[in-house]
Structure 1
Amino acid sequence: MSTETPPSRADTVIIGAGAVGCSVAYHLSELGAADVTVVDQGPLPVTGGSSVHAPGIMFQTSPSKIQTKAAHYTSRLLSEAGVYDEVGGIELARSEDRMDFLRRRKEWATSYGLPEPQLLDPEEVTDHLPMVDEDEILGGYYSPTDGRVDGIGALQWYMEESAADFVGNTEVEDIEVEDGAVQAVVTDRGRIECDRCVMATNNWGYQTGQLAGLDLPIAPVEHQYVVTEPLDELADEESSVGDNTTGLDVPGDRSIAEYMSEGPTQPVGRDQDHSLYFRNHGDALGMGSYNHETLSVDPEAMGKNTDEHQASVRGFTKEHWEKPTHRGRDKSAKQAFDELLPATQDVEYEATENGIFVFTPDGMPAVGPTAAVDGLWSGLAIWWTHSGGYGKILAEWMENGVPRLPSGPVDTGGIHVRRFEPHAGEKEYFVDRGAKRYEQVYSIVEPRWQPDDHRGLRRSPFYSQQEDLGAEFYQSGGWETPQYYESNADLVDRYEDQIPEQDGWQAINRSPIEAAEHLHTREKVSMFDMTTFSSIVVEGEGSGEFLQSVCSNDIDIDIGQVRYSLLLNEGGGILADVTVVRLDDEEYLVTTGGGSSPGIHGGWLEEHAPETVGVHVEEGARSTIGLWGPNARLLLQRCTDADVTNSGFPYFRAKQIYVGEVPVVALRVSYVGELGWELWAPTEYGQRLWETLWEAGQDLGVRPMGGGALSSMRLEKGYRLWGTDIDTDANPFEAGLPFAVDMDTDFVGKEALQAAREDGIDNRITPLTLDDSTDIMLSGRPVTKDGETLGYVQAGDYGYTLGESIAYTYVPSEYAEAGTTVQVHCEGETYDATVRDEPLFDPGREKIIR
């Protein structure tokens, strides 16, 4: 419902009445949330943001499950609302590499449940899109439920169907924060006191965050779109251009909103080989281009709407249309369109724009509760394609504590606003990274691709030694982490009989050295840099009781004892897997993974802790070495006076010891399935810790080991990786982790687990091994049986010790029995595979406990 004046108070204030803000308001209303107010600086419903200048094309298929699921939900919701044209979408291939990519598209769509994805030959493409020159293409990928959303119509529908109050022409000037919590949203028309606030301003997202003291990495970028004059080839298509925005207040150039409200009658198309897309607007053709150098916009200079100017639309830059300025493309947008769609040659353009939208450093949305301000939520960097889905996810998260779609809980690690590293809010950094993501929108990004800018930001104290050993550094959370070491190249010859050759897409950016490091660690001893992993100190009165309330396992442990546990949300989904170490009566060390773990996991603990308990996220405060392999005990004993025998230092125990002169918290745990320890030391001692172990272990065969070996070793053992095998879309029983749950204790998510257990566990994780191939399976590829899709590959690698290719997947429980035969589809090939019992490697734990 639209209202003229903002209220003085609302339970929830949503800033931004575009696709995301309206979706959140609608879904909060569906869940029964009362007293929601949406404010926007522009008129309603044509606010002047990207929601009304976007052409509304919706291609649903993505390598990301959550992006695909969110897009499909959006298409179904808006189709039922009558504001979605389900004309289908066709992605074209003008090269063999792109045709291979389209095969991946079909596999992802099959994995994530999109209906009837198809590969088309050139003639089938032109049956759907007769304007395409058949001689220019090799084929296409067709998704029948793709299409286009009527942006203005959808915004009107949301407003009519929502119980929220919508207030236009209202500029937000401040977000009041007191004692770390939202108090009010201050507008140019008055102050709105509130309990929670949602930032849904997309192009203005950085500026909105600044009002609350947050540096959000939201980078605005321009891209181009034109609409032709009416074409003879589309003369039979009806057009209502001129009537679509009648009676509406439209900031800036009315023709943009007018044409964008005109729906297509043919499938929407993409020529990703040239970073282009197109669709008809009645009897005219709209053509969009990413085929130009990145045109970044200063996030602090977005400006405001006026009657003459729409702030999210810039003037059309003809040179970027007619000249090849994209560094990955050798043709201009016009040249590529003229070849693909000959009817567009020499036509006039009725409307042109450089429209603005936004990117984060990794190209994914920024969704969820912010860490620094209680009650402040983010719904940013979201396109029309996914807006309905993310509105639903965010509303469920806000109301029920469980991000979900109707199909079930969703994984949030890749979209959480807290995932960004401390440096990500620096403007030059996120603008540069956003520019790169813009450039890659239609590029074929290779497996394990690594950026070449803003490197060396975070270095462990072992960095100089690693450089000397020829480390191939990958970037993870800003850290430089070795993937493998050239100094281990000699090991490849030693183990060549156990290292099958990989080729094609699976082999890109892989080295046989990774395999050799895996095999060497199983035979000798290796040092692995764990500095990117996170340590969190929990201490103070009631710290044990607090941890017990949030950990799924029994945390009533002795000093020096270690326990593996999970943190769950209210729905029983896995927020994190953690190792809890009791250091003293009221002091615990909680360790978890790297990447986004400090922000997501550490922040969650901080916000749940009572006043008497201190939670200190020690990001970068400790440097850690994983010392693993059969010779690990011999090496460690040379460097310490502590008793590290099996009886003196049992498995899953911890001691505070000295390694040489270095004070260390030593945990007898292993993520690779071998005898070993994690050695946690203050960062300033890290270099000496490395030197001490390295010098003492030369005759024992000590080698450095990188992330590639860790990946294959942990998969052999079946150890889970948060964000890959486990996340908030799985509960512990589905994830094969019942041993990490003690139902005799009380913890967040327990009720949901009880209900899940009573209802029965429908899906379970299981390892597969390929029957007659050594190829490595890639994530997101479908697992089927008798033509039915059971699941998809969560993680895959070659098990060099086992001599088999391994893939982990969730399948319906009736198919999770060992011996069940299935098929895996990867890179256009079909592989026979067999379900296996886990762990595949050392099921008796003889290598760890000795």
Structure 2
Amino acid sequence: MNPTDSLPSEADTVVVGAGIVGCNLAYQLTKLGRDDVVVVDQGPMPTTGGSSTHAPGIMFQTAEEKILTKFANYSRELYSELEGADGRQAYNEVGGIEVARTEERMDFLERRVENGLAWGIEDPQILSPEEVGERLPLVNEEEIIGGYYSPTDGQVSGVVACDALAREAMDRGAQFVPHTRTEDVEFDGDSVSAVVTENGTIDCDEVVVATNIWARQLGEELDVHLPVTPVEHQYTMTEPLDELAEGAVDITDHPLFENYRNVSGEKAKRLLVGPDRPILRDQDNAMYFRTHGDAYGIGSYNHESIVPDPEELGGNDPDGEQGSVHEFTDYHMENATHPDRPDKAPRQASDELLPATAGKELEHKYNGMFSETPNGLPAMGPVEGYDGLWTAAGIWVTHAGGAGKALAEWMENGVPRLDDGPIDLAHADVNRFNAHEGSWDFARDLGAEEYRIVYNVMHPKWVWTDKQRDIRRTPMYHTHLEYGGEMWGEAGWEAPQWFDSNADLVAEYADRIPDREGWESVYWSPIEGAEALHVRDRVGLHDMTPFNKIEVVGSDASAFVQHLCTNDMDLDVGDVRYTLMCNEDGGVRADITVTRTDEDRYLLLTTGREVGNNHVAWVREQSPDSVVVNDVTSSLAAMVCTGPDARKVLSKVADADLSDDAFPFFTSQQFYVKNVPVTALRVSYAGELGWELYTPSEYGERLWEHVMEAGEEYDIRPYGNGALDILRIEKGFRLWGEDLHTEHNPYEAGLGWAVDLDTDFVGKEAVEAAAAGENVDHEVACLTLDDEEAMVMAHRPVLDGDDPIGYVHSAEYGYSVGACVAYTYLPPEYAEPGTEVEIRYEGDRYDATVREEPLLD
């Protein structure tokens, strides 16, 4: 590549960081037609000295997270199309093998196959030890009990890919400026106006922070507290091995070699050589391997977390040391320091698996840095409150191609997309973070924990146990503890999953609560089922304070709410309406209930949990100056009293007539519960008679006590999030972020009844097309398992024979239905009630049938 020698004075878009993410983004933006893109980096190009320079580039595509797999799959396809500076294909498709040394890991690898089928990976397979040995002859077959094989996995050099991407971007008009450290971003009001570098200022309209391990540093300069944490892991390369002698390669004539060596030193002779056999991962020992000609590369996460202070990270020094590389710590290779693997040092584990490496010198070795976020996913998208400021951090070489494509589409067309359609990035959105997550204490501890568990076998319901817990408490927190609440942490909130005080209900409903074994029994209690059944039969009280609550106020509030919402929002004061918010592409951005609380005031209620802040940011982004958008989540305590006896309970303490005539469904009133002021909504996410009660937070605990005391004679019980998920899925209520998201439009989601095409709203043109039958590629389908005692979990493939036709978005056992209920999206011809399909789960196949929804009415 030929970067420019001078800094331009202006540009439409400036990308800060010319690593694999910045180069991918510039490539995609220019492919979409932008020709005024400038990429700046503190290092040389294409070997900037960041993580892309030292990364060995292995690409295992399959992950539990859909977006990571989709990003990786797109990256593989893109890198396969790139021509390196030597004229060869940039991607080395040698296949990838993950081995198991334990039965627990073998079960995990079976889930790998199911995730691969669900997410569209080509031909994922389970291998016997002998089959692993056929593909990787140096592996000691006696050390393993099987493997997972993905034929299209492989490797790409970050430097080769950056160079190829940048050359094509420059051919389309982009400029790349090396040796230029970014010092600040200037704003005109809330809008980006310029990027300030050590070599001058670039006037611009947009800035993308794609600086990976340095993202937190730049964010702090802008008062944007990104929980992006640099962490270190080890990589080393052996001396030449006789067993690999035929693979010896002299790479010194490669066009990028001298550039690479100037930054990385002599290890460039190895790093620039692609593998000639499948890449290998031994997750039981948190290690990975690839060949470098006649040497083996050994990567290790198998040590205690090493988290450098972001303030102490420099750039590349004049002597050529990489800013993203620290000195190799031999101690961590020769000793067992990982808290979850205390019995075996990494070097021992490596030598056992690959005996040819035993006793061999480790010629090149270093601690390389990458970045982690609190949930292990990227931090990308437009930053709330700053028009024109975007982020793209926490992204590996493996995922950078897909992330760059999605972000470029987002910037240019308003919606993140890959070639096969829109992709929902709710769990990777930079705005998902809460205020406490910006603290260095939190980011450091959670980054270290994400590093610790990166290769562990993790259950999807696992929650942090001690690191950075007990941060946000609802007003009822101590009361929950008194009732034996099993507290789980999410978005900083401590929330009960079930209550041990309800254990007596298990015996009462024992004949309706099937036993569980295996993966689905972990982080589960039969109390969840008993609580759900009790709510259906009697009455329960649930703390819903963590659900996001947004207040919209102003003279143009009515017009703005209508602009946001798909339904007719011509509401009288006190009316409540269920509606959707869509993005420009017609994808469902959120489902909400809207209450008109006054002439110029509305209350919007939507999903909490990890994705709730995304909705707040979206509403604020859309709002005009004449409207004020307040996040009132923390200022209002919220609870729902629901069940057949809910009216009887509340009538004892409410100074209001709660009859159907006086208080109809989907209306709201303000009254007192004894001495506590409440705003009550006649709605219930549990799908039973009920009222949601909102009150200023300081009244929350007392309100809870009033309702519980009034319900004592009706055996009122508190119930947790586990029961709520059961209750809502039985009634067919969607959960945004799981079985409802931006990848599907309202008609695919079965929510066309919440759309009024006589109104104007964001995304209307696309929604109209869907209403006419266009872009309806899938339709929501409610499945029940034919085996009434069986249970499956989310993210497993739905099959027609051996062909995947969808995947399970969410699943819970429906105790009132008497079967496991699973929600999925299927091609329209499969979504008809009565259609028989199969779900693959934990290596078995379960017959399932599409049902008419709702299952309970």
Task: Find out whether 1:227 has 2:237 as its counterpart.
Answer: yes
The separation in 2 between residues aligned to 1:388 and 1:518, in whole angstroms, is 44
Task: Find out whether 1:424 has 2:437 as its counterpart.
Answer: yes
Partner of 1:846: none
Deviation per CA, 1:667-688: give whole Å up to 9, x if none: 1111111000110111011011
Partner of 1:436: 449
Task: Find out whether 1:175 has 2:175 as its counterpart.
Answer: no
Structure 2 residue aligned with 1:319, among 327, 331, 340?
A: 331
Task: Find out whether 1:782 has 2:797 as its counterpart.
Answer: yes
Structure 1 residue aligned with 2:666, among 621, 629, 652?
A: 652
Deviation per CA, 1:614-641: give whole Å up to 9, x if none: 1111130100011110010011111111
1:589 alignment partner AA: L
Instruction: Give 1:516 shift.
Output: 0.5
Corresponding residue SS for 1:388: helix
Instruction: Give 1:756 shift.
Output: 2.9
Q: CA contact under 8 A between 1:772 and 1:832: conserved in structure 2? A: yes
* Shift in CA distance, 562/823, structure 1 to aligned 2, threshold 3 Å: same
Instruction: Give 1:839 shift.
Output: 0.3
Q: CA contact under 8 A between 2:790 and 2:819: conserved in structure 1? A: no
Q: CA contact under 8 A between 1:598 and 1:619: conserved in structure 2? A: no
Instruction: Give 1:231 shift.
Output: 0.7
Partner of 2:152: 145
1:616-655 alignment runs, 5 A limit: 616-655=630-669
Corresponding residue SS for 1:604: helix
The separation in 2 between residues aligned to 1:810 and 1:177, in whole angstroms, is 43
Instruction: Give 1:755 shift.
Output: 2.4
Q: CA contact under 8 A between 1:52 and 1:257: conserved in structure 2? A: no
Instruction: Give 1:837 shift.
Output: 0.6
* Shift in CA distance, 91/592, structure 1 to aligned 2, threshold 3 Å: same
* Shift in CA distance, 363/251, structure 1 to aligned 2, threshold 3 Å: farther
1:363 alignment partner AA: G
Q: CA contact under 8 A between 2:548 and 2:613: conserved in structure 1? A: no
Instruction: Give 1:757 shift.
Output: 3.4
Instruction: Give 1:403 shift.
Output: 0.5
Corresponding residue SS for 2:473: coil
* Shift in CA distance, 598/69, structure 1 to aligned 2, threshold 3 Å: closer
The separation in 2 between residues aligned to 1:597 and 1:351, in whole angstroms, is 42
Q: CA contact under 8 A between 1:151 and 1:261: conserved in structure 2? A: no
Deviates more, 1:253-262 or 1:695-704: 253-262
The separation in 2 between residues aligned to 1:214 and 1:304, in whole angstroms, is 21
1:187 alignment partner AA: T
Task: Find out whether 1:508 has 2:522 as its counterpart.
Answer: yes
Deviation per CA, 1:512-552: give whole Å up to 9, x if none: 11111001011111000000011111111111011111111
Q: CA contact under 8 A between 2:798 and 2:837: conserved in structure 1? A: yes
The separation in 2 between residues aligned to 1:598 and 1:612, in whole angstroms, is 24
Partner of 1:397: 410
The separation in 1 between residues aligned to 2:624 and 2:400, in whole angstroms, is 35
The separation in 2 between residues aligned to 1:813 and 1:61, in whole angstroms, is 27
Unaligned runs of at least 5 residues, structure 2: 83-88
Partner of 1:272: 283
Deviation per CA, 1:272-314: give whole Å up to 9, x if none: 0000000000111101000000011111111111232111000
1:68 alignment partner AA: T
* Shift in CA distance, 590/97, structure 1 to aligned 2, threshold 3 Å: same
Corresponding residue SS for 1:226: strand
Q: CA contact under 8 A between 2:651 and 2:657: conserved in structure 1? A: yes
Q: CA contact under 8 A between 1:559 and 1:585: conserved in structure 2? A: yes
1:259-298 alignment runs, 5 A limit: 259-298=270-309
The separation in 2 between residues aligned to 1:775 and 1:623, in whole angstroms, is 37
Instruction: Give 1:238 shift.
Output: 3.8
Q: CA contact under 8 A between 2:257 and 2:268: conserved in structure 1? A: no
RMSD of Structure 2 on Structure 1 (CA): 1.1
Q: CA contact under 8 A between 1:58 and 1:149: conserved in structure 2? A: yes
Partner of 2:695: 681
2:431 alignment partner AA: R
Structure 1 residue aligned with 2:224, among 214, 234, 237?
A: 214
The separation in 2 between residues aligned to 1:595 and 1:322, in whole angstroms, is 41
Partner of 1:492: 506
Count of residues in correspondence between the two structures:
842
Q: CA contact under 8 A between 2:261 and 2:267: conserved in structure 1? A: no
Instruction: Give 1:595 shift.
Output: 2.3
1:107 alignment partner AA: E
Partner of 1:837: 852
Deviation per CA, 1:52-85: give whole Å up to 9, x if none: 1000000000111111011000000001112110
Instruction: Give 1:240 shift.
Output: 2.4
Structure 2 residue aligned with 1:119, among 99, 104, 126?
A: 126
The separation in 1 between residues aligned to 2:589 and 2:295, in whole angstroms, is 49
Structure 2 residue aligned with 1:448, among 461, 473, 482?
A: 461
Corresponding residue SS for 2:11: coil
Deviation per CA, 1:294-348: give whole Å up to 9, x if none: 0111111111112321110000100000000001112111000111000001111
The separation in 2 between residues aligned to 1:64 and 1:447, in whole angstroms, is 10
Instruction: Give 1:598 shift.
Output: 4.5
Instruction: Give 1:454 shift.
Output: 1.4
Q: CA contact under 8 A between 1:598 and 1:617: conserved in structure 2? A: no
Partner of 1:349: 362
Q: CA contact under 8 A between 1:44 and 1:168: conserved in structure 2? A: yes
The separation in 2 between residues aligned to 1:471 and 1:194, in whole angstroms, is 52
Structure 2 residue aligned with 1:537, among 546, 551, 576?
A: 551
The separation in 2 between residues aligned to 1:718 and 1:672, in whole angstroms, is 10
The separation in 2 between residues aligned to 1:607 and 1:792, in whole angstroms, is 32
1:371 alignment partner AA: E
Task: Find out whether 1:364 has 2:363 as its counterpart.
Answer: no
Structure 2 residue aligned with 1:187, among 194, 197, 201?
A: 197
Identity over the aligned pairs, expressed in percent?
51
Deviation per CA, 1:675-726: give whole Å up to 9, x if none: 0011011101101101110111100111000011001111100100000001
Instruction: Give 1:252 shift.
Output: 4.4
Q: CA contact under 8 A between 1:57 and 1:385: conserved in structure 2? A: yes
Structure 2 residue aligned with 1:464, among 470, 478, 485?
A: 478
Q: CA contact under 8 A between 1:44 and 1:249: conserved in structure 2? A: no
* Shift in CA distance, 524/44, structure 1 to aligned 2, threshold 3 Å: same
* Shift in CA distance, 675/386, structure 1 to aligned 2, threshold 3 Å: same
Q: CA contact under 8 A between 1:52 and 1:260: conserved in structure 2? A: no
Partner of 1:665: 679
Task: Find out whether 1:28 has 2:29 as its counterpart.
Answer: yes
Instruction: Give 1:179 shift.
Output: 1.6
Corresponding residue SS for 1:635: helix
1:456 alignment partner AA: D
Corresponding residue SS for 1:296: coil
Task: Find out whether 1:720 has 2:734 as its counterpart.
Answer: yes
Q: CA contact under 8 A between 1:769 and 1:805: conserved in structure 2? A: yes
Q: CA contact under 8 A between 2:92 and 2:154: conserved in structure 1? A: yes
Q: CA contact under 8 A between 1:93 and 1:272: conserved in structure 2? A: yes
Q: CA contact under 8 A between 1:226 and 1:286: conserved in structure 2? A: yes
Partner of 1:2: 3
Instruction: Give 1:250 shift.
Output: 4.9
1:29-68 alignment runs, 5 A limit: 29-68=30-69
* Shift in CA distance, 249/289, structure 1 to aligned 2, threshold 3 Å: closer
The separation in 2 between residues aligned to 1:671 and 1:132, in whole angstroms, is 53
Instruction: Give 1:597 shift.
Output: 4.6
2:696 alignment partner AA: P
Q: CA contact under 8 A between 2:745 and 2:767: conserved in structure 1? A: yes
1:524 alignment partner AA: R
Partner of 1:204: 214
Corresponding residue SS for 2:137: coil
Partner of 1:239: 249
Q: CA contact under 8 A between 1:419 and 1:595: conserved in structure 2? A: no
1:732-811 alignment runs, 5 A limit: 732-758=746-772, 759=774, 761-811=776-826
Corresponding residue SS for 2:310: coil
The separation in 1 between residues aligned to 2:645 and 2:575, in whole angstroms, is 24
Deviation per CA, 1:164-221: give whole Å up to 9, x if none: 1000000111111232221111001100111110000001010111121111001000
Q: CA contact under 8 A between 1:524 and 1:700: conserved in structure 2? A: yes
Instruction: Give 1:243 shift.
Output: 3.9
The separation in 2 between residues aligned to 1:107 and 1:508, in whole angstroms, is 19
Corresponding residue SS for 1:567: strand
Task: Find out whether 1:328 has 2:340 as its counterpart.
Answer: yes
